[in-house]
C-alpha cells in the first residue's frame, strides 16, 4: 500500500480520502476486546460509543453474552451484520489473527488501540510486520497500532477509552492529526475545559503502519467542515508524499505542525513512543516551510496559533509587504514590549495617516500617546477606559495602513470597563485580524476571555505571545498570496 | 547626586541603601494632593494607606479640613509633626514648588506620582529639570516622577492609588523593581490572584531623576527579606554603576531582568513612557550577562523564572558541567518535547546508573520506558499512576547524576491520583530543583497547581516552558559557582 517515494505521489490520495471519509462515518462498529469490567479500556471504549449516541455497536468478547446492555459476540465472524469499523483492544500477540478475521469478514478498517508493537522492541516489531503483511494481502485499512484512533464530532464517533462527556465537546472547524494519545486525553480535556474553539475531527495515528500523516492531511484538506488543520507529528513515512499532501492542504487551509524529535535526543525518545524515525530536522523544516506549513515550537503555541486561525481572518499582506500592526494598550511597558516583539519578528509597526491621528486626538491630549503604539493609560483617567479604547480601536481598524490589530487591556474588579466595549468598537469588521491580551485579577481575566473568545476574538496573556501568533498568520497569508499570484501568471 | 560614570561606582551606594531603608519604613507619610473625591487618585492613595494600617498619615489639600476622617493641612509646611515621606499627586506645574517646600520642611524623601514630565515633551522636560535642580540643592531623595512608587509588605507601606486589598497580598521573598506602573496595577493584581509566591517590596521607578535601578538593586541586595530580585527596566542612567550594583546583588541572590526597548522601535516607544533612553541592547545584554543577571523575554517568563527561584534550590551544577535533567512524564509526546527543549537549550538529559534502572524496574515492565525520559504511561494502567510516579520520582531524586527534575502529569476528573503523591515522593529533599508541568481539565489543573505551588513546587503548563526556566537556573548556578571558585583561588 505505501507508495514508493519516487512514484507520482498524487496517484492514490483521492482513493484514500474516500476511504477515510467512510471510516470517519461508520454505520456499525465492533469493539474487539469489549469488557464488562469498568476498569478496562474495553469497557470505557464501548461506553463512550454509547454515550456518543452511536447505534450499531457490536461488543466482541469470547466469554461475555452481554456488555453494557448490548449483545456480545465471541468473534467478529459471529456478528450477523456487516461491520464497517472495528476497534481492537486485546493483547498484542492476538492482534494479527483478529485483524485477518476482520479482513475476511469484509470490515473496511480497523483502529488498533493495542500497544506493544514496534515501539517496545524486537518481539513487537515482528508482530507489527505480521500486521503489515495482512494489510498488503487484503483491502483492510488500519489506523495504529498504539493509537487512540478516531474522533468525529458530527456525526459522533469516538474510538477511545478516555472519559469524554460529549455534551462538553464543541463541534467546530479545527481538525487534529496527532501521533500521540494525548490528543484524546489530556489535550482534548484541556481544549474542552479551557478553549472556546470547536473540533471537527481528531485522527490519532500511533505507529502509522498504514494510514499516515499524509493521508490525514489529504483527508482533512478535502473535509468541508475542517477549516484549520493542527498536527503533532513525530516521524514521516515518505517525505515527498507528505510534502505533496501539505501542499494540497495549505492551498485551502492553514496547517500548523508541532514536530517532536527535533534533536537527536528527542528523536531517540520518539523511537520508543511511536517507533518513529524523526529524520533530519533541518530537512523537515525547510520542506515544511516550502509547503506552506506553519511550524510551532510547543503545545501552547500550537493552541495559540490554532485558535487565531480558527477565529480570525488572515492579514491582507503580500509577499512583498510584512504585516503592519496597529497597537493600542493600557500600559506603556506593555506597548514597548509589543513593539519590541513586532520588530524582532520582522513585522512592522504601522504608520498612522493624518486622518487617523485626527480621530485619535478626539480623546488623546498628548499627540505622542496617540501615535502607534497608542498608550490609552493617561487619557483613560479623564474620559474613561471605554471611550479611549473605542476611539482607538475604531481609528486603527479604519486605517488603511494597518493589516492587523493588537489590543492590550487589563481587567480588575473595580473597573467600569466591560469587554462589550471592544466588540462594539470592532462592530462587524472582518477584514483584518484582531488579537487581544488581558492581564489582571484572575476571575476578571477569565470573564474577559470567555466573553471575547466566545465572540471569536482570541485572547492571550502578554503581547509577545500574541505577536508570535500574528507573525505566523502573516507568513501563511503571504504564502497564500504568493500562490495566487503565481497561479495567475502564465 | 548621580555619579560620573568614570568614578568609583561603589562609593555612595551604602549611603543610598541606608536612605532607602528609611524610605521603605517611614514613620509618617504626607499625601500631597489628597482628595475627598473617591474618583481621584489622591483619595485612593490615602485610603490605601489607611487600609494598610498605616498610622501617621497627613493629607495635604488647600481646600479640605478633613479627608477620610483625617485632619487635612493646607501645605506640607502646616503639618505640626516631622514627616518622613511624602507622596505627591498634584498637577505637574505645581510639583517643583511643593518639592522645594518638602525639602525645606526636612522631609527625607518624596514619591512623585504625577505624570507629565520628560515623557510628554519639551514643557515637561523643563519641569523635570527644575526638580533635578532642587534635588541637587537639597538633601531630599526622589522616587519618580511618573511612578506608582513604593510597596512594602512588612511593615506595610503603599504609595499607590490602585485598589489593593492588603488581606490578599502575600508577604514573601520576591523584591520587584519596575519602571512601569503595571507593577502596582495589573501585574500586582495578577500576582495576588494567580501566583503563590510572596512579595517583599516593590520599587516603582518612573522617570528615575534620582533613585534609579542601580539604587534599587543595591537596596534589595542588602535587604534580608528579599531572596529574589525581579525587574522590568526601560533605560539605565549610568551603565557602570548599574553593572556594579548587579554584581553586588547577584553574588547574593538571583536578579531577573525584563528589558523593554530592545529594538529601535521599542526604544522609541520607551521615550514617551518613562523618558528612558534604552541604549544599545547588545551592549546591555553582554554587560548584564557578565554581571550574572538572568535575562528574560517577556512578563510570562519573568514570572515563570521568578517563582522557580523563589520556591526551589539552585541545581548543583558548575561552570564545567551543564545541568543534567531527569525527566518523567505521563506521555511519550510530552517527554519527547521536553527532551528536545533540554537539548536545544544546551542542558543534558541525565544518564541513569544501573542502581536507578533497577529501582525503576520495580514497576516498569519495559526497560526502554524506564530510561530517561521515563514514560509512566504504559505501566500506570497496570500498577496505578500514583505508584509509577512515586517510584520514578524517588529513583530520579536519588540518582547522583541528576541535577534537576522535570515531572509532567495530567490532571483529569476521573483519576485516582492526587498531587500529595508527588510531595510524598519528594519528601524533604531540597538538594535539586523540581519543576512540574500539568495539563488537563481546567479545574483539576487548578487544584494541582494550588496544592503544589502552596508547597513551593512551581507548576508550568508544558515542558518547554519549564525547561526554559531550568536553563536560566542553571546559568545562574554556574555563574555563582564560578564566582566562588575564583574567590578561592589566589
Chain A residues lying within 8 Å of B442, measured CB to CB = 190, 193-194
B377 CB neighbours in chain A (<8 A) are 181
Take residue A229 and report the three cell numbers written for it.
488543520
Q: Which of A185, A339, A462 sits opposite B300 (nearest CB)?
A: A462
Report the DSSP pairing between strands B109-112 and B85-88: parallel
DSSP H or E segment with residue B327: strand B324-329
Mean pLDDT for chain A? 92
A343 CB neighbours in chain B (<8 A) are: 263-266
Q: Report yes or no: B86 and B121 within 8 Å, Cβ to Cβ.
A: no
Distance CA B470, CA B475 (A): 9
**3-state secondary structure string, A360-403?**
HCCCCCCCCCCCCCEECHHHHHHHCHHHHHHHHHHHHHHCCCCC
Cβ-Cβ contacts under 8 Å for A322 (sequence gap 6 or more): A346, A347, A348, A474, A478
Q: Check pLDDT > 90 for residue B319.
A: no
**∠ at Cα A115 (A111, A121), nearest 5°?**
130
Report pLDDT for A488. Answer: 56
Flag whether pLDDT at B7 surpasses 50. no
Question: What is the crossing angle of helices A13-24 and A213-222, to 10°?
Answer: 80
Task: Report chain A residues whose CB lies below 8 A from the CB of B263.
Answer: 339-340, 343-344
Q: Smallest Cβ distance to A266: which of B266, B343, B442?
A: B343
Which of A198, A209, A206 lies closest to A237 in space, CA to CA?
A209
pLDDT in tens, A137-157: 998 999 999 998 999 998 889
Q: Which helix (H) or strand (E) holds B484?
A: helix B463-488
pLDDT at B423 (0 to 100):
95
Tell me which residue in A330, A343, A371 faces B266 most closely, judged by beta carbons.
A343
Closest residue of chain B to A369, computed from CA coordinates = B272
The 10s digit of each residue's pLDDT in B72-126 is: 999 999 999 999 999 999 999 999 999 999 999 999 999 999 999 998 888 999 9
* Span B31-46, pLDDT tens digits: 999 999 998 889 999 9
Binned at pLDDT 50, 70 and 90, residue A121 comes out as confident
Say whether B186 and A343 touch across the interface (CB within 8 A): no
The whole-number average pLDDT for the span A447-472 is 98
The residue-averaged pLDDT of A360-379 equals: 86
Interchain pair A260, B336: CB under 8 A? yes
Among A8, A3, A64, residue whose Cα is nearest residue A31: A64
Q: Which residues pair with A348 in a beta bridge?
A: A324
- Asked if the Cβ–Cβ distance from B412 to A261 is below 8 Å, we say no
pLDDT at B165: 82
pLDDT digits (tens, 9 = 90+) for A171-189: 999 999 998 877 778 999 9
- Contact partners, residue A370, CB within 8 Å, separation at least 6: A357, A360, A361, A364
Assess whether pLDDT exceeds 90 at residue B299. yes
CB nearest A273 (choices: B297, B333, B442): B333
Cα(A112)–Cα(A85) distance, integer angstroms: 11
**Contact assignment for B163 to A412 by CB distance below 8 Å:** yes
Residues of A in contact with B261 (CB under 8 A): 336, 340
Encode pLDDT of A42-54 as tens digits: 999 999 999 988 9
pLDDT at B488: 56
Query: From the candidates A161, A261, A263, A332, which should be mutated to test the interface with B, based on the most B CB atoms within 10 A?
Result: A332
Neighbours of B78 (CB within 10 A): 12
Spatial distance between the Cα atoms of A257 and A254, rounded to a whole number of angstroms:
10
Write down the residue that cell numbers 500521540 correspond to.
A180
Band (A109; pLDDT cuts 50, 70, 90): very high
The pLDDT assigned to B11 comes to 52
Task: State whether A262 and B181 contact (CB < 8 Å).
Answer: no
Report the alpha-carbon angle B59-B64-B67, nearest 5. 50
Chain A residue with minimum CA distance to B119: A368
The reply to whether residue B181 touches residue A265, judged by beta carbons under 8 angstroms, is: no
Task: Identify the DSSP state of A10.
Answer: T
Phi, psi dihedrals of residue A307, rounded to the nearest 5°: -70, -35
Pick the residue with more confidence: A282 or A32? A32
Q: pTM for the full model?
A: 0.95
Specify the long-range contacts of residues A70-73, CB closer than 8 Å, at least 24 apart.
A70/A46, A72/A34, A73/A30
Q: Is the pLDDT of residue A169 over 80?
A: yes
Q: Are A376 and A352 in contact (CB under 8 A)?
A: no
How would residue A274 be classed by pLDDT, with cut points 50, 70 and 90? confident
- Residues of chain A in contact with residue B383, where contact means CB-CB under 8 angstroms, are none
Distance from CA of A40 to the nearest CA of B (A): 9
Amino acid at each position: 500500500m505505501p507508495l514508493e517515494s519516487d512514484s507520482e505521489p498524487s496517484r492514490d490520495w483521492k482513493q484514500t480520502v474516500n476511504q477515510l471519509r467512510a471510516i470517519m462515518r461508520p454505520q456499525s462498529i465492533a469493539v474487539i476486546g469489549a469488557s464488562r469490567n469498568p476498569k478496562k479500556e474495553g469497557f470505557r471504549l464501548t461506553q463512550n460509543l454509547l454515550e456518543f449516541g452511536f447505534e450499531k455497536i457490536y461488543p466482541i468478547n469470547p466469554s461475555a453474552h452481554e456488555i453494557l446492555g448490548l449483545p456480545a459476540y465471541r468473534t467478529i465472524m459471529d456478528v450477523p451484520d456487516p461491520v464497517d469499523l472495528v476497534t481492537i483492544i486485546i493483547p498484542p500477540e492476538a492482534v494479527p489473527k483478529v485483524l485477518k478475521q476482520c479482513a475476511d469478514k469484509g470490515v473496511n478498517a480497523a483502529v488498533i488501540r493495542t500497544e506493544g508493537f514496534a515501539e517496545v522492541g524486537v518481539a513487537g516489531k515482528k508482530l507489527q510486520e505480521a500486521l503489515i503483511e495482512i494489510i498488503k494481502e487484503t483491502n483492510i485499512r488500519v489506523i495504529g497500532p498504539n493509537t487512540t484512533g478516531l474522533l468525529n464530532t458530527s456525526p459522533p464517533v469516538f474510538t477511545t477509552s478516555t472519559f469524554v462527556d460529549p455534551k462538553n465537546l464543541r463541534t467546530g472547524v479545527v481538525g487534529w492529526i496527532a501521533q500521540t494519545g494525548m490528543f484524546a486525553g489530556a489535550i482534548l480535556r484541556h481544549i474542552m475545559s479551557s478553549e472556546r474553539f470547536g473540533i471537527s475531527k481528531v485522527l490519532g495515528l500511533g505507529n502509522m503502519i498504514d494510514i499516515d500523516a499524509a493521508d490525514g492531511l489529504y483527508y482533512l484538506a478535502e473535509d468541508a467542515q475542517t477549516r484549520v488543520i493542527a498536527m503533532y507529528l513525530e516521524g514521516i513515512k515518505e517525505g515527498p508524499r507528505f510534502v505533496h499532501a501539505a501542499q494540497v492542504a495549505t492551498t485551502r487551509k492553514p496547517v500548523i505542525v508541532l514536530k517532536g524529535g527535533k534533536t537527536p535526543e528527542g528523536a531517540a525518545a520518539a523511537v520508543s513512543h511511536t517507533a518513529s524515525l524523526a529524520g533530519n530536522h533541518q530537512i523537515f523544516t525547510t520542506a515544511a516551510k516550502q509547503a506552506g506549513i506553519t511550524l510551532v515550537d510547543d503545545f501552547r503555541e500550537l493552541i495559540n496559533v490554532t485558535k487565531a486561525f480558527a477565529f480570525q481572518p488572515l492579514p491582507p499582506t503580500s509577499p512583498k509587504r510584512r504585516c503592519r500592526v496597529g497597537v493600542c494598550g493600557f500600559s506603556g511597558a506593555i506597548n514597548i514590549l509589543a513593539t519590541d516583539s513586532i520588530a524582532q519578528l520582522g513585522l512592522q509597526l504601522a504608520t498612522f495617516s493624518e486622518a487617523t491621528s485626527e480621530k485619535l486626538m478626539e480623546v488623546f491630549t498628548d499627540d505622542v500617546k496617540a501615535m502607534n503604539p497608542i498608550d490609552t493609560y493617561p487619557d483613560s483617567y479623564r474620559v474613561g477606559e471605554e471611550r479611549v479604547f473605542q476611539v482607538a480601536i475604531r481609528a486603527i481598524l479604519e486605517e488603511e495602513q494597518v493589516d492587523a490589530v493588537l489590543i492590550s487591556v487589563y481587567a480588575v474588579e473595580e473597573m467600569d470597563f466591560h469587554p462589550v466595549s471592544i466588540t462594539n468598537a470592532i462592530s462587524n469588521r472582518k477584514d483584518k485580524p484582531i488579537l487581544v491580551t488581558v492581564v489582571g485579577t484572575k476571575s476578571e481575566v477569565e470573564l474577559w476571555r470567555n466573553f471575547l473568545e466566545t465572540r471569536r476574538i482570541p485572547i492571550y496573556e502578554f503581547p509577545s505571545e500574541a505577536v508570535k501568533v500574528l507573525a505566523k498568520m502573516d507568513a501563511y497569508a503571504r504564502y497564500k498570496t504568493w500562490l495566487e499570484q503565481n497561479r495567475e501568471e502564465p
